[in-house]
Amino acid sequence: MINVNDNLNTDTYYKKSHLVFINFCAKYIGGEIRLNEELQEYRWLKPVEALKLDLIPSMKILLQEYIEKK
């Protein structure tokens, strides 16, 4: 596990609510990536490269913690 995030009534999402995220690290071992109705595209990035994207604050914290623990 990398971290646990607790977001209470944040303006980051479209609707104010209490959200709890439990973030895990996993290893991709193969197979076809299948997108569903929630996703339009995907790409593989190194964590440092991902930090350059326009991310919500909690995702930046998650990536920073992952980089520090590696």
- The pLDDT of 14-24, averaged and rounded, is 76
- Strand runs labelled E in the chain: 3-8, 18-23
The residue assigned the tokens 């190194």 is: 46
Domain count, the chain: 1
> By residue range, what is the domain housing residue 55?
3-69
- pLDDT, average across residues 2-18: 69
The answer to whether the beta carbons of residues 53 and 62 sit under 8 Å apart is no
26-46 pLDDT tens trace: 888 999 999 999 889 999 999
Q: Considering only CA atoms, which of 46, 43, 47, 52 is closest in space to residue 66?
A: 47
Q: Please, which residues have CB within 8 angstroms of residue 11's CB and are 6 or more apart in sequence?
A: none
